[in-house]
Each structure stands twice: as structure tokens, then as C-alpha cells.
Structure 1
Amino acid sequence: MILNEALILPLAFIVFAVIIIAKGVTIVPQSDLYVVERLGKFDKILHGGFHVIIPIIDNIRIKLTSREQLVDIEKQSVITKDNVNISIDGIVFCKVEDAKEATYNVVDFKNAIANLAMTTLRSEIGSMELDDTLSNRETLNIKLQTELGSAAANWGIKVTRVEISDIEVPDEIQKAMNMQMEAEREKRAIETKAKADKEAVIRKAEGFRQEEFLKAEAIERMADAKKYEQEKLAQGQQEAMKLINEAMSQNEKAAEFLLAKDRIVAFKALAESNSKDKMIIPYEVSQLIGSTSVLGDAFFKGMSNGNTNNAS
């Protein structure tokens, strides 16, 4: 019994030492940040890895994460510049850059960012009209990020981006917007059709003008070709006349040869004709008839002259 009482004190000391050592050893995960206070005052920040602190004297005030965090902007009613009441909400993405400032400069940085985002959102929406709010959502996101980033920097927080997730418009405004969009579509369709018709008329007129130009050019070329043909034909006839004159000057019977040749061609055409009212007379007979007619005319003329003399 005496032996057991003697061992109690060493065993208690050993147990106390183990507990102290266990409390002094701190293993911090890679993405966490531990804020350590010594006797109630900020001492240091523990990053990921193995650390040893002094139990009882040192105390871990808060455990933060260095990963990106999401802060919801609760849905709220906001009035635009043109007095339209809309409901809007969003999300803020942020991360802790300075664990000391995030701990001591603000009570709850997430709640502070959410409230600041709501206030900033009301201010920005109040300076914009409804159409700008709906169409320039990206611009609104950038403005919110700039405003929140400058304020959150004092808390050791970096705002990486802001996203407006939803904008709800009253039903009557939604119907009016749908009617306006439908009218705008019809207007664009009419303008597009008018523009297409105008282009078609212009292209048609251009095609007609090109066609008339080509026709005029073709007529001009045909006239030039015909003129050239007539000039060459006249030139050929002139050369032929010169040759005929030279032949006739050298041979007296050249003219008779040409006349005989033309008679043969004429008689051949007459003979090949299908007309029934025709009579082919040899050249000698025609000459005889011609001579007889001449003698007859002379005879009757002489008789008429004799009668005239007797009467006188």
C-alpha cells in the first residue's frame, strides 16, 4: 500500500506531462490558417504543417481557411432609376489573404460582405434603368466587385468575383417587355425585307443596265462588221471592175463573153423555175423578132409619112 502511494505522484506527473505535450503539438491542414494568441494577445499565424505551442499560455483563437469561399447575397427588392421594383440576388466569391485582419478588424467577415453587397447592389441598381440592368449584367458585376473589393481589403479579404444570379421582373412589366420585343422583332423584319427589296431593285436595274450596254455594244460591233464587209465587198467589186476594164481593153470579145455568161445563168434559172407561164426562146429567134419589129416600125412610119405628103 505504501508502494502504491509512492508511485501515485510520479505517475500523475507523467500523465500531466503527456497531456501538456499533447496540447502543445498542433498539426495544421494545408489549406487552413490558425490564429494563435499568447496570454490574450495576437502572437502568430500557423500555416499548414507541424507546429508546437505552449499550452495554457498560447491559445488558438480561430481557425480559418485559405480556400475560396462563397457568400450569398440574399434576394432583395430593389427599385431601378425608372421606378421599376425588381427582385435580385447573387453570389460573392472571396478568400482570406490576411488571417490577422480577418480576425481582428471585423467580427464576421462573411456577414459583413453580405450586408455590404446588398447595400452596394441597391445603390448601383438605383442609378440604372431596367433595360440597362437586364442587358448590362456583366458591367454590374464588375462595379460590385470593385466596390466590395476596396472595402473587404481592410478586413484581409480578397473579393475574386461577383455574380448576379437572378433578376425577377414583375409580371406586368414582363408582359410589356415581351410585347416590346415582339414589336422590335417585327420592326427589324420589316426593315430587313425593305432592305432586301431595295437591294433586289438595285441589282435588277444594274442587270438591265448591263444587259442594255451589252446589247448596244453588240449592235455597234455588228455595225462595224457590216461596214467592214461592205467596204471589202466594194473594194472587191472595184478590183473586179478594174480587171474587167483591163480585159475589155485587151480583148474586144471579153464583153460579149460576160454577156453570154450572164444570159446562160438567167436562162438556167428560168428553166429551173416551177412557173407554168413561161416561154423559152433561143437567142437567135429573139434577135430575129427584134429585127422584124424594127423593120415593122420603120415600114409603118414610112407609110404614115407618105399619107401626110399626099394630103398636103
Structure 2
Amino acid sequence: METSIIFAVAIIFFVLIIIIKGVKIVPQSDLYVIERLGKFNKELHGGFHLIIPIIDQVRAILTSREQLVDIEKQSVITKDNVNISIDGIVFCKVDDAMEATYNVVDFKNAIANLAMTTLRSEIGGMDLDDTLSNRETLNAKLQNELGSAAANWGIKVTRVEISDISVPAEIERAMNMQMEAERSKRAVETKARADKEAVIRKAEGFKQEEILKAEAIERMADAKRYEQEQMAAGQQEAMRLINISMMENEKAAEFLLAKDRIAAFRALAESGSTDKMILPYDVAQMVGATSVLGDAFFKGVSNANSNNS
């Protein structure tokens, strides 16, 4: 009786072990590679799975999450024979668990070594200035080269970053001096362009000023000419009206002369001079006639004396 109980317990225990071995609960981010009798059978993703105990075995457990592969710092010689130190980071993830298990022994180590050799090859064909300034281009080339090789291992390279590029101290000093020289050169060129622009703007301003002056003089001349033309036209019209008036009325000319004579007497009377004498018009005519008679008398006497002699 006791032997049968022990045998039953043993069988139950064996069945439990078989069940436990046959049940696989895979986490969401893991990938299980299952072999059946030493040969690849299937790939298990996250969830509940059943396998045949003893016959099926878990060959490898991989993660589907993105992984980081560190590229150790190494010395690299550029195309212009400058020895620099460089390191980087490769981001990758398992795309095919079977290939990552059977096509490569250690895909992380393989990617790291491939990244170092590819980095040496790429930088060996670039100058130092290109290496420092075209880091994005270098990252893209590395990702392309690593992606092509890692695809055979079931690995997808998502990103490559060059984290640090170190140059020798003497090269760094030379680069700093070069940068200072370039900045000084750009400053001189900028100042020269600014001075040139200032001269051009000043000349343009002077030109505009002279043009405006010439336009102002031309407009003033036009205005003065217009004024003179209008005055001449007014005078012409006044003379025409005077002629018409004189033809229609004989006293018009005497009226104008009397008007001018009155204006002249008024100006003479308002002047501050004391050596002046104002006579009526009739007296002035009489004085004029007397002067003419006196001249004639003295001229006749002179002729008589000359005949007697």
C-alpha cells in the first residue's frame, strides 16, 4: 500500500514537472527561441505558450527592446594625417530572433567591432575639418554601413551617434588660432563692406540732394517765368484797354497824364528834401516860355554885334 502511494506521488510529481516544463509564459518585450531535438522550431513572443517538455528546449532569450552598443574610444588617423580619438554609440534592436541566435555568436560584440572598423575606414577618407563639421553625414554613413551588415544577423540599426571627437592639444591650439584669424578676417571684411556701403549711401544721398535742388531751381524758374508771362499778359491787356479807351474818348490820355503828374507831385511833396519848389502847371508853362524868349533875345544880340564888327 505504501509502495503504491509513493509510486502515485512520484507519477504526480513527474507530471507536474512535465507540465511546468511545457508551459512558457513569455514577457511582452522578450523573444524565446525554441529548438526541437537540437533544431530551430519556432519563435515565441509575449504571452502564454505550450511546448513539448524534453523534446523542445529554450535555446535563447532575447529582448525586442532597443539596445545600446557602446563604441569604445579609439585612435583614428584622418586623411590629412591627424591622429584623433573618437567614440560613439549604436542603437539597435532584434528584428529576427532566429538570425540573431544562429547567424552570429554575439551580435553586440560584432556590431561594436564592425562599427570601429567602419569608423576607421570612413574617417580615413575625410579631412579633419570635414570630420568635425560633418558629424551628421558621418553618422548617416555609419548607420548605412552597419545596417547593411547587421541585417544578416537579424538586427536593425536604428541610430548611430558620434559622441566625442578629441584632437591633440597642439592641433587644438592651431585650430583656435585659425578660428581667431578667420574671425578677424571676417571682422575686417565686414567693416570694409560697411564702410563701402556708407560711402555709397552718402554719395546717393548727395546725389538725391543735388537732384532735389535742381528740381527746386527748375520749379522756381518755371514759377518766375509764369509770373512774368502773366504780368506781361496783364500789361498787354492793360495797354490794349488804354488804347481802346483813348480811341473812344479823347480826354483819356490827358486823364492818365494828369494822374501820373499828381502821383509825381505827391511823391515830391512827401520827400524830406528842403531844396524843392512846387509850382502850378500854368506857372511852369509860363516859366518855360520866358526861358525860350530869353534865349532867342540873347542869341539875336550876339548876332548883331558880330555883324557890326
TM-score by length of 1: 0.93
Q: Secondary structure at the match of 1:146?
A: helix
1:35 corresponds in structure 2 to 33
Mark the CA change 1:258 to 1:44 in structure 2 (over 3 Å): closer, same or farther: same
Equivalent residue for 1:281? Answer: 278
Cα deviation, 1:12-69, whole Å, max 9, x if unaligned, reads 1111111111111100011110001112211111111001112222111110011111
Bigger mean CA deviation after superposition, 81-90 or 295-304? 295-304
Matches within 5 A, 1:158-197: 158-197=156-195
1:274-297, CA deviations, whole angstroms, 9 ceiling, x for partnerless residues? Answer: x33442413334334333332332
Equivalent-residue separation in structure 2 for 1:179 and 1:60 (angstroms) = 62
Partner of 2:129: 131
1:97 matched to which residue of 2? 95
3-state SS in 1 of match to 2:299: helix
Task: Give, as a single letter, the amino acid of the residue that structure 1 aligns with 2:279.
Answer: P
Q: Which residue is 1:268 aligned to?
A: 266
The partner residue of 2:45 within 44, 47, 51 is 47
Aligned equivalents of 2:203 and 2:270: distance in 1?
A: 56
Distance in 2, Cα, partners of 1:89 & 1:156 = 25
For structure 1, which segment, 243-252 or 258-267, has the greater mean C-alpha deviation from structure 2 after superposition?
Answer: 243-252
Which deviates further from its counterpart, 142-151 or 188-197? 188-197
Q: Hey, what's the Cα distance between the residues in 2 that align with 1:271 and 1:161?
A: 114
The alpha-carbon distance between structure 1 residues 265 and 88, as it changes in their structure 2 partners (threshold 3 A), is: same
Q: CA deviation at 1:304?
A: 1.6
Aligned partner of 2:4 in structure 1 is 6
Name the stretch that deviates more: 107-116 or 263-272.
263-272
- The CA deviation at 1:193 is 1.7
- Which position in structure 1 is the counterpart of 2:289? 291
User: What SS does the corresponding residue of 1:276 show, helix, strand or coil?
Assistant: coil
SS class of match (1:82)? coil
Q: Which stretch of the first structure deviates more once superposed, 194-203 or 276-285? A: 276-285
- Deviates most, 138-147 or 183-192: 183-192
Q: CA deviation at 1:154?
A: 0.7
Distance 2:235 2:70 in 1: 107
Q: Which residue of 2 aligns with 1:16?
A: 14
Give 1:224 shift.
Answer: 2.3
Cα displacement (A) at 1:78: 0.6
Call closer, same or farther: CA 1:143–1:278 in 2, change over 3 Å: farther
Q: Given the alignment, which residue of 142, 154, 157 partners 1:156?
A: 154
Question: Is the alpha carbon distance of 1:220 and 1:109 closer, same or farther for their aligned partners in structure 2, counting shifts above 3 Å?
Answer: same
Q: How many residues align?
A: 308
Of 278-287 and 22-31, deviating more is 278-287
TM-superposed CA distance for 1:202, in Å, is 1.9
Q: Could you tell which deviates more after superposition, 279-288 or 37-46?
A: 279-288
Change in Cα spacing, 1:249 to 1:111, as seen in structure 2 (3 Å) is same
Question: Which ranges of structure 1 fall in alignment gaps of 5 or more residues?
Answer: none
Structure 2: runs of 5+ lacking an equivalent: none
What RMSD over aligned residues (CA atoms) do the two structures have, in Å? 1.7
> TM-score w.r.t. structure 2 length?
0.94
**Secondary structure of 1:73's partner?**
strand
Residues of 2 paired with 1:211 and 1:266: CA distance?
A: 49
The residue type paired with residue 280 of structure 2 is Y
User: How far did 1:308 drift?
Assistant: 1.6
State the alpha-carbon separation in 1 of the partners of residues 184 and 101 from structure 2: 59
Inter-partner Cα distance in structure 1 for 2:79 and 2:138 = 14
Residue 65 in structure 1 maps to residue 63 in structure 2? yes
1:27 is matched by which residue type in structure 2?
I
Distance of 1:23 and 1:46 partners within structure 2: 15
SS in 2 for 1:107: coil
Residue by residue over 1:125-176, the C-alpha shift from the partner in whole angstroms, topping out at 9 and shown as x without a partner, is 1100000001100000011011111111110111111110111111111111
Q: 1:77 to 1:54 in 2, by over 3 A?
A: same
Distance change in 2, residues 1:179/1:288 (3 Å): farther
Question: Which amino acid in structure 1 is aligned with residue 241 of structure 2?
Answer: L
